[in-house]
Amino acid sequence: MIALVNVPNKTPFSNSRQPPLGMGYICSFLRSNKAECDLFDLAVFPISINKAVDLILQTKPELVGFTCYETNYFIIREFCKQIKRQDPNIKTVIGGPTSTFAYEDILNDESHVDFCVLGEGEQTLLELWQNINGNIGDLLEIKGLAFRHGDTPIKTAQRPLIKDLDSIPSPYLSEIYDMKYYDSAYITNGRGCPKQCIFCTGSALFGHTVRFHSPERILEEIDYLYNLNIKNFLFSDDTVTISRKQINSILDGLEKRGHDISWHAQTRIDQISKEMLERMKKVGLKFLSFGLESADPFILKTIKKVRTHGEGVQLEEKHLQKFEVVFQWLKDLKILGMVGVILGNPYESTKHLEKTINYLKKIERKYGIKHAINVLVPLTGTEVFKKHREFQMVIKKDANFLLPYKIKKFSATSIEEIIEFRKKLLTDYSLFVWNEPWDKSLSVFEKITEKSRFQLSRETYYDFLRRDFEK
């Protein structure tokens, strides 16, 4: 028996009423291969860790798995500790980007984690379960796995990426979730990203070649959910329009169906056209977000937002000019828009930050575009993490939290200056904004124990989504 556990994020507004899609793919794949598997979504049912562990252990699992991001590792560590305290024979495993790139940190930590899955988890977790049940004798034969050999973390050979994503059964069509507990659903086009932004783990985890589900599969999922009265959808892809052929096939199918749905998505500014926006609006698009990151072309070049090589900033300037063109389209079509920015990028001075602040104020005033503010976090596996010394940054682990790493010294500005810049940007959408940079915001979970109740405070977030879907 395998128990998959979706724990809440440390950030209250990161928890939502959509089923955990990545974990659902793994569960549907395991079940299709005769492995008994249950999924516990604790982001929807917030209970104490003690009660949650009791509930999980009632299913008598041999293996308990978690999807780990650097924002929820601290909670997962507490879960594993409690599971091991009650039954040391149960094996614990985590997957996801943090597991892939920070497996040494995790396995060296006193976290009671037995295994880390590296990369895509479906086949690796199946073979691990088969090993536990005596069907595969040597852990070293399982590709894409890390574990302790004595006191030393070791990893096995890299597992190839899954070529045919439709070979993974749909968690929706496999009825992994009880959809009566959810008010909307994630839909994903595929995996991978052709871009190489230095702050993102996406392409590092899933590769630079994008692999797609078939449009027929995606439309079948939407049909299934629509028949269950789920009418709100969020495309989880970083760039939903990365393939015009793919998105146009999906839009063709939605137009033929005529479903009364609302959906959100995100994309890149250089991957959108007015014709495409008009088609997306026609079949229910209500909200579209973009990664701006910075309004300064030099910073965009530094973080490789547009390209990875070349002289000058002409391409970056052209990239920035496209934003206001697209914002006018959004305004004309009455589609809500939002941009995300990152403060504290390599070599980003107060002059660069001021330029971004002024730009955000202008586009909100002129086009109604909202913004989400983030402070740079050196996620393990990213280029900014690997080259932080070259970028003249100082990063440090926290003894209590271990992950994420935190920037203690930025390249060309200070934490105090970044806090002041953030204060200038608070809007009605301030729920997207961390109150302070990472090294201070982590204190919210300092006192978490096995008896702690997850404080989710989700209602404001639901109201926000509801308003957008209704417009």
Burial classification of residue 85, based on how many CB atoms lie within 10 Å of its CB (0-12 exposed, 13-18 middle, 19 or more buried): exposed
**Distance between CA atoms of residues 430 and 147, nearest Å:** 41
Q: Which residues, in sequence order, are bridge partners of residue 95?
A: 67
Q: What is the pLDDT of residue 183?
A: 84
Dump pLDDT digits (tens) for 413-462: 988 888 777 777 654 333 333 333 333 333 333 333 444 333 333 333 33
**Distance between CA atoms of residues 444 and 74, nearest Å:** 12
Report the amino acid identity of residue 164: D
Q: What is the pLDDT of residue 24?
A: 96
- In the structure, what pLDDT confidence band is assigned to residue 270 with cuts at 50, 70 and 90? very high
Q: What is the pLDDT of residue 143?
A: 95
Where do the CATH 3.80.30.20 domains begin and end in the chain? 200-436
Q: What is the pLDDT of residue 201?
A: 86
**Distance between CA atoms of residues 287 and 215, nearest Å:** 21
Q: What is the pLDDT of residue 46?
A: 63
Question: Token digits for 367?
Answer: 């086009």
The angle subtended at Cα 165 by Cα 160 and Cα 170, nearest 5°, is 135
**DSSP annotation string for 164-211:** -GGGSPPTTTTT-S-GGG-S-EEE--EE--S---TT--HHHHH-SS-E
Report the amino acid identity of residue 435: N
Phi, psi angles (nearest 5°) of residue 55: -65, -45
The answer to whether the beta carbons of residues 74 and 101 sit under 8 Å apart is no
Please say if the pLDDT value at position 96 is more than 60: yes
The answer to whether the beta carbons of residues 174 and 31 sit under 8 Å apart is yes
Please give the residue that has the higher pLDDT: either 277 or 466: 277
Q: Return the percentage of the chain with pLDDT > 70, whole number.
A: 87
Q: What is the pLDDT of residue 422?
A: 75
**Distance between CA atoms of residues 261 and 285, nearest Å:** 8
β-bridge pairing 232-235 and 185-187: parallel
Q: What is the pLDDT of residue 426?
A: 58
Residue range 2-155, CATH number: 3.40.50.2300
The answer to whether the beta carbons of residues 94 and 116 sit under 8 Å apart is yes
**Distance between CA atoms of residues 131 and 135, nearest Å:** 5
**Distance between CA atoms of residues 399 and 381, nearest Å:** 20
274-282 and 244-257 helices cross at what angle (nearest 10)? 30
Please say if the pLDDT value at position 308 is more than 90: no
Q: What is the pLDDT of residue 150?
A: 86
Question: Token digits for 403?
Answer: 């992950």
| 182-196, 273-287, 317-331, range with the lowest pLDDT | 182-196
User: Is CATH 3.30.450.20 correct for 200-436?
Assistant: no
Dump pLDDT digits (tens) for 14-53: 445 789 999 999 999 999 999 999 999 887 766 778 888 9
**DSSP annotation string for 308-373:** SS-SSSHHHHHHHHHHHHHHHHHHHHT-EEEEEEEES-TT--HHHHHHHHHHHHHHHHHH--EEEE
Mean of all residue pLDDT scores within the chain? 85
Reduced to 3 states, what is the DSSP secondary structure of residue 2?
Answer: strand
Report the amino acid identity of residue 299: I
Q: Return the percentage of the chain with pLDDT > 90, whole number.
A: 65
Q: What is the mean pLDDT of residues 115-120?
A: 95
Q: What is the pTM of this model?
A: 0.85
| 202-211, 245-254, 283-292, 388-397, range with the lowest pLDDT | 202-211
- In the structure, what pLDDT confidence band is assigned to residue 400 with cuts at 50, 70 and 90? low
Q: What is the mean pLDDT of residues 343-362?
A: 94
Where do the CATH 3.40.50.2300 domains begin and end in the chain? 2-155
Q: What is the mean pLDDT of residues 312-325?
A: 95
**Distance between CA atoms of residues 271 and 244, nearest Å:** 8
Q: For the stretch 284-323, what's the b/e string if a residue is b when 16 or more beta carbons lie within 10 angstroms of its beta carbon?
A: bbbbbbbbbbbbbbbbbbbbbbbeeeeeebebbeebbeeb
Dump pLDDT digits (tens) for 282-297: 999 999 999 999 999 9
Q: For the stretch 114-134, what's the b/e string if a residue is b when 16 or more beta carbons lie within 10 angstroms of its beta carbon?
A: bbbbbbbbbbbbbbbbbbbee
Q: What is the pLDDT of residue 375?
A: 85
